[in-house]
Structure 1
Amino acid sequence: MDIYLIRHTTPDVEYGTCYGFADLDLAHTFPAEAARVKELLPNKAFSVYASPLQRCSKLATYLFGEDFRKDDRLREVNFGDWEMRTWEDIAITTPKTWMTDYRYDPMPNGESYAQLYERSVKAFEEIVQHMRQDTAIVTHGGVIRSILAYAMKTPLSESHDLRVEYGRVAHLHLNGNGLEVKAVNI
């Protein structure tokens, strides 16, 4: 069976802004970007899961209609006090020690990358356990990066090297030997 991890299209937010849990709308380029994503997917029935944030649920609706499950665990990382601040401002006000252990040190009133990884992988494992047909998951870059790191057995310390662009798809195949990553950023 196949699993398609789909990242939402470009959000309507100023470049350089930190966002994760913020429920942003999509940029004016959504129709063209969503049409491109649709062309990348096979024309067949899917079980569909999505982050409840509108940038994912809008794309899921465009691609698959209203019949999908929203799962809070598929939300992007919670940046806590950093939500909707610029990265430049965050860099000025954040102790340099945070950067030495950012994978495990949570953002102020938010979560760490390791916490995002744990919840993303747990959600993914449950989805896979209940799969009865090909599945699409419409979610965020951090969640997809976490799932790909898990599937590829990439250490957490190297997983930030996995890039997933807006409106891109990663294709995984589940067989008797486990998960195989077929393509990333198609």
Structure 2
Amino acid sequence: MRIYLIRHGRQNSPLCNVNVPLSDAGRRQAELLGERLKKESIDAVWSSDLIRACETADIINEKLHAPRIIREGLREISFGDLEGLSDDVIMERYADFFAARASMKEDLPYPGGENAADVIRRAVPVMDEIAKSGAETVAVVTHGGVIRSLVTHYLHMDGAYVPLLAKHLENCGITEFYYRESDGEMLLNRFNDFAHLMDEPELLRGGWGEKK
């Protein structure tokens, strides 16, 4: 079984983890991904229940016409006290936290929020449900913190190493796992494949400047 973990399209606000729709760029990212995935015989499209993930999944599914499944366990990591703040404010107020986190000595929770272990506890049961669904290929639209946490989990890395992956995950990029039924292992096939976005570089992370 192949499981495509997809980071949602670009949202229409630069504030931290606000539950908002996609921007125009985010919708375009999802359209391009849908065009690519329609060749992949996707059996089902799963997503978190947050607006940006649902909208991304629904746009993709306009090309796929697959069953849609929504799970709260696929929500973004809780950033706690950081949510709703701008990057500038976050870096000013929480500089010490990010310095400690960057040391990767422990899996630190965001102030008032979750850490990777918390995400794994709620997201892995959803991955297990997907693995047991009988499908051959599944698209799962979720969030950057969830994908990074799952990658460290299935590679048997400590959650403290999530920051290593923090700058390398495009919106609507594909991270693919292969579920090997014989022993229940999740094998990482590729990480952050965004070839479908390359012809429109303004859709990549370097093009983030759009505010609405």
TM-score calculated relative to the size of structure 1: 0.84
Long gaps (5+) in structure 2: 194-212
Distance 1:90 1:31, change over 3 A: closer
Q: Is residue 178–residue 186 contact of structure 2 (8 Å, CA) maintained in 1? A: yes
Pick from 123, 132, 136 the counterpart of residue 129 of structure 1.
Answer: 132
Indicate conservation of the 8 Å contact 2:42/2:139, yes or no: no
- 1:63 and 2:60 aligned: yes
Per-residue deviation, residues 78-117 of structure 1 (Å, max 9, x unmatched): 1223211123323333483675367333422x32332123
RMSD (CA atoms): 2.3
Kindly state the Cα deviation for residue 126 of structure 1 after the two structures are TM-superposed: 2.8
Question: Where does 1:1-186 land on structure 2 (aligned, <5 Å)?
Answer: 1-14=1-14, 17-19=15-17, 22-41=18-37, 42-65=39-62, 67-94=67-94, 96=96, 99-100=99-100, 103-108=107-112, 110-162=113-165, 163-175=168-180, 176-177=182-183, 178-186=185-193
Residue 61 of structure 2 aligns to which amino acid in structure 1? F
Deviations, residues 33-58 of structure 1 (Å, cap 9, x unaligned): 11221233234142221011111111
Alignment CA distance shift 1:87-1:117 (3 Å):
farther
1:100 and 1:112, CA in 2 relative to 1: closer, same or farther beyond 3 A? same
Alpha-carbon distance between aligned partners in 2 of 1:98 and 1:180, rounded to the nearest angstrom: 30
After TM superposition, the score normalised by the length of structure 2 is 0.74
The 3-state SS of whatever aligns with 2:3 is: strand
Moved over 4 A (4+): none
The size of the alignment, in residue pairs, is 181
Identity of counterpart residues, as a percentage? 25
Q: 1:185 to 1:87 in 2, by over 3 A?
A: same
Task: Determine if contact 1:11/1:26 at 8 Å carries over to the other structure.
Answer: yes
Q: C-alpha distance in 1, partners of 2:3/2:95?
A: 40
CA, structure 1 residues 140+129, in 2 after alignment: closer, same or farther (shift >3 Å)?
same
